[in-house]
Structure 1
Amino acid sequence: MTKVQEHFDHVGSYLRPAALKEAREKFANGELTQEELLKVQDELVKDLVHHEVENGLKVVSDGEFGRSWWHLDFLWNLIGFETYLQEDSYKFHGAKTRTTNIRLNGQVAENPEHPFYRDFEYLKSITPEGVTPKVTIPSPSLVIDRDHRSDLYADYYEDWTAFLDGLAQAYHDTIQHFYDLGARYVQLDDTTWAFLLHQLETFKDEPEKRAKFEKLAEDDVYVINKALAGLPEDLTLATHICRGNFKSTYLFEGGYHTIAKYLGQLNYDIFFLEYDDSRSGDFSPLTDIWNGRDNVELVLGVITSKDPALEDVDAVVARIQEAAELVPLKNLGISTQCGFASTEEGNILTEEDEWKKLQLIKTITDKVWG
C-alpha cells in the first residue's frame, strides 16, 4: 500500500489566468461553445501543471480551473441537487460573494456524467511520471444542515438517518469512480468544522444551544467516515479544514480545540490545517487531531495565500519545530493555509506572487525535512 506523504503540498486552487476568465465570460454570453471553452481551459491547465512541477511539487491539481466555486460546481452536478439564488450572500469579513446556492430536488446519488471526471482524466493525461494528480471536492458535511441545503430532506427520505446514509453512499460512489479513472489522491475540502468551532465556542455556556452543534459534528463524522469506508487501500484521502477564503477575506475564527476530538475520529490520511495568523489559535489541538495515528500527516498552513508578503524562513522553521514537540516531525508537512482562489475571483495577489509562495515553502521543506 502506497500513500502520498510529501511534506510539501498545496491545497489545490490557483489564480485563474485572465485568458480563462475571458473565455468563461464569452461562454456565458454565448460567444464560445463548450468545446472551445474546454480547449482554452486545457491549455491553461497544462501550463499550470508545468509550473507546479517546475516549482518542486510532487502532487499537482488542475487549479480548479473548470469551476467557479470551490464547492457548488461539484454539488450541483450530483444527482439530487439544483441551483437557486438565495436572498443573501455569504458573510465574509469585508467582501460580498455572489448569491448562488444549491438545494435538494430528489434523492442524492453519484452522477456518472459528472464534468469533474472529464477534468480529472485530462489532468491525469498531462501529469508527468512520478507526480501524483490530486482531485479536490467539497466534503459532504457542506450539505448537512448548512446554508439550507438539506432543508427539504423530508420530501425525499424516510428520515434524517436515511438522508445521511444516501449522501454518504453518493460520495462513496463518486470517490470510487475517481479511483477507477486512476485517481490515487482525493481531497475533501471542508468549512463546516470552522463553522462548528465558532458555534461551539459561542455557546460554550449554553448547553441546550451547544447540543445542536455537537449533534451536527457527530453527524458530520458519521457521514464522512461512512463515505470513506471500504475505499481502496492505496487511495490517499485528505481533508482541508478551512475558515473561509474569498478575495483575501475569511468567514470564521477560533482555535481547533473545540473540534479537535471530532477531527481525530475522521479516517483521513492527511489533514490540511490553517495556521497562518492569530485567528487560528495555537498548536495544542494537534495532539488530538493526530490522535497517535502513525499513518496520518498534518499539513500546517503556516504560509498565507491571502497576502503576497513572504514569511520569514527562520520564523516558520521555529513554528514547525514548536509543532514537532506535539506531533512527530515525520507526521508533519507545510502548505499555504488555503488555495489561492477558492472562487474564480481569486485572492488579492498575482500569479507571480503565488509561485514565490510555493518556492518559499519548498525552501523551508528542504531545510526542515532535507
Structure 2
Amino acid sequence: MSTPPFRADHVGSLLRTSAVKENRLRWKKGEISAAELRAIEDAAIAETVTRLEATGIQSITDGEFRRDYFHLDFLKELDGVTVTGGIESNPNAKAAEDGFKPPVVSVTGKLKHQHDIQVADFNYLKSIVTRTPKVTIPSPTMVHFRGGRQSIDINSYPDMDLFFHDLAAAYREEIDHLYAVGLRYLQLDDTNLAYLCDPKMRAAAAERGEDPNELPKTYAALINAVIDNRPADLRVGIHLCRGNYRSTWFAEGGYEPVAEVLFNEINVDGYFLEYDDERSGDFAPLRFVPKNKMVVLGIVSSKVAELENMDDLCKRIDEAAQYAPLENLCVSPQCGFSSTHHGNQMTHDDQWRKLELVVNTAIKVWGNP
C-alpha cells in the first residue's frame, strides 16, 4: 500500500533512550538549557528513526521523545487549557505504590491556538526520514471527557456549542500549519471513545451529567469539525486507547457500544484498534466498517515483552476478515511503547522484535508491498 495507514503500521511512541530520559530530568532541574536538551533529543531521534526504518515500518514518528505524556505536552500549549492535580490511582497498576495519578486537564479561559505546537518537531523529523513521516496528537475529545461540563469555565463558555467551536478551530489551525510544511499523515490519539466501551466508565460519565450514548455522537461531530475540510492528500487515522502506562491499562470492554458511530460518523481514513487481549472483545463490531475505510488491528502487545507467534497472529487476522474485508485490514502493535516518558516494561530489543514481527506478519498475509 502506498497510502497510509500501511499494512504494517505502528501507533507512535517508542521507548526513550537513556540519554533522553537522563537529560530531560537534568533540564527539569535546570542543569542544562532547553537548546542543549533539544540537541540531545535530535541525536536520539535520528538514531531511533534509522532503527525504525530498518524494521520495514513505513510510517515514521519521532517516538514522541520530546514529550512527557502523549497528550498533555500538546494540550497545555493551547491557550485556555490548564493542567493541574491528578485523578484516582490506576486500579490495574502492578503494585499499590505504583498507582498512576496523571494530571487533569481543565479549561480556564477562551480556547485559542496561540503558536505552532508540532511544526518544528515535524520539520526535524521530515529532514531525517526516507519514508512517510507521521505526527501523532491527542484527539480534541481529550479536553472534555474526564471532567465534562464541570471542568470547563462557565464564564468563558456558558454555551458548550461555543466551546466545541473554539476547540475545533484551534486544532484546525495547528493541522493547517502542519500540512503547509509537508505533513500528509496525521493520527489522533483518543482514549475517550475506548473508555465509553467500559461499563464502569460509562457509569462515571453518567454521574458527571453526561449521556454515554450521546457522547460518541458529540465527539464524532467535534472530530469532523477538525478534519472535514482537510486536503484530499492528508490521511488521518484515529487510535482508540484503553490506557497505556508502564504496561498497565485503565479501561476494558469491546467496541460494540460505540461501533456504529465510530465507523460511520467519524470521517477518518483509518482506525487503530486495540485487540491485544480479552479486554478488547471480539471482532464482530468490525461489521460496521464501510468499504472506504481501513482498520489497523493492534494484535501485537506493546505491554508485554513476550513475542507473539506469527501463525496465531495470522489466525486472528483471518477471524477479523470474517467481519471486514481482508483488503481493508492492517496490523500493528495495540498501542505505543511509551505513552508516557516512563515507558512500558520491556527492553529496546523487545520493542524492535515486536515491530519486525508486525512487518513480517503483514508480508505473510498480504505479500511484500
TM-score range relative to shorter protein: over 0.9
Report Cα offsets for 1:221-252 as digits up to 9, x if no partner.
11011111111110000000011101101000
Which amino acid counterpart does residue 96 of structure 1 have in structure 2? G
| Percent of aligned positions that are identical | 39
Answer yes or no: is the 8 Å Cα contact 1:92–1:246 preserved in 2: no
The alpha carbon displacement at 1:5 in A equals: 3.5
- 2:77 pairs with 1:74: no
Q: Which residue of 2 aligns with 1:138?
A: 138
Answer yes or no: is the 8 Å Cα contact 2:148–2:208 preserved in 1: no
Report Cα offsets for 1:317-348 as digits up to 9, x if no partner.
01111111211111100000000000000100
Q: Which residue of 1 aligns with 2:354?
A: 357
Task: Report 1:288-327 matches (<5 A).
Answer: 288=288, 290=289, 292-294=290-292, 296-327=293-324
Which amino acid counterpart does residue 122 of structure 2 have in structure 1? F
Q: 1:143–1:149: structure 2 CA closer, same or farther, 3 Å change rule?
A: farther
Coordinate RMSD, CA, aligned: 2.0
Report Cα offsets for 1:101-146 as digits up to 9, x if no partner.
33222211223242x2211110011111xx1100000001111232
What TM-score does the superposition give when structure 2 sets the normalisation length? 0.93
Q: 1:329–1:112: structure 2 CA closer, same or farther, 3 Å change rule?
A: same
Equivalent position to 1:120, from 116, 119, 122: 122
Answer yes or no: is the 8 Å Cα contact 1:246–1:341 preserved in 2: yes
Partner of 2:198, secondary structure, is: helix
Q: Which residue of 1 aligns with 2:236?
A: 237
Q: Which residue of 1 aligns with 2:26?
A: 26
Q: Which moved more, 1:316-325 or 1:90-99?
A: 90-99
- 2:251 pairs with 1:252: yes
Q: 1:106–1:210: structure 2 CA closer, same or farther, 3 Å change rule?
A: closer
Q: 1:315–1:22: structure 2 CA closer, same or farther, 3 Å change rule?
A: same
Partner of 1:53, secondary structure, is: helix
Q: Which residue of 1 aligns with 2:342?
A: 345
The alpha carbon displacement at 1:293 in A equals: 3.0
What TM-score does the superposition give when structure 1 sets the normalisation length? 0.92
Q: Which residue of 2 aligns with 1:97?
A: 100
**For residues 257 and 218 of structure 1, what CA distance do their matches in structure 2 show?**
14
Q: Which residue of 2 aligns with 1:151?
A: 151
Which amino acid counterpart does residue 286 of structure 2 have in structure 1? L
Q: Which residue of 1 aligns with 2:39?
A: 39
The alpha carbon displacement at 1:4 in A equals: 1.8
The alpha carbon displacement at 1:91 in A equals: 5.2
Answer yes or no: is the 8 Å Cα contact 2:9–2:332 preserved in 1: yes
The alpha carbon displacement at 1:147 in A equals: 3.6
Which sections of structure 2, spanning at least 5 residues, go unmatched?
none
**For residues 90 and 123 of structure 1, what CA distance do their matches in structure 2 show?**
33
Q: Which moved more, 1:177-186 or 1:32-41?
A: 177-186
Partner of 1:104, secondary structure, is: strand
The alpha carbon displacement at 1:6 in A equals: 1.7
The alpha carbon displacement at 1:209 in A equals: 9.4
Answer yes or no: is the 8 Å Cα contact 1:79–1:109 preserved in 2: yes
Partner of 2:253, secondary structure, is: coil
Answer yes or no: is the 8 Å Cα contact 2:237–2:269 preserved in 1: yes
Which amino acid counterpart does residue 120 of structure 2 have in structure 1? R
Q: 1:5–1:82: structure 2 CA closer, same or farther, 3 Å change rule?
A: closer
Which amino acid counterpart does residue 353 of structure 1 have in structure 2? D
Q: Which residue of 1 aligns with 2:9?
A: 9
Which amino acid counterpart does residue 82 of structure 2 have in structure 1? E
Answer yes or no: is the 8 Å Cα contact 1:76–1:82 preserved in 2: yes
Q: Which moved more, 1:237-246 or 1:193-202?
A: 193-202
Q: 1:103–1:236: structure 2 CA closer, same or farther, 3 Å change rule?
A: same
- 2:201 pairs with 1:198: no
Answer yes or no: is the 8 Å Cα contact 1:143–1:149 preserved in 2: no
Partner of 1:105, secondary structure, is: strand
**For residues 144 and 202 of structure 1, what CA distance do their matches in structure 2 show?**
14
Answer yes or no: is the 8 Å Cα contact 1:102–1:149 preserved in 2: no
Task: Report 1:216-235 matches (<5 A).
Answer: 216-235=215-234
Report Cα offsets for 1:9-48 as digits up to 9, x if no partner.
0000000111111110110111100000000000000011
Q: 1:134–1:202: structure 2 CA closer, same or farther, 3 Å change rule?
A: closer
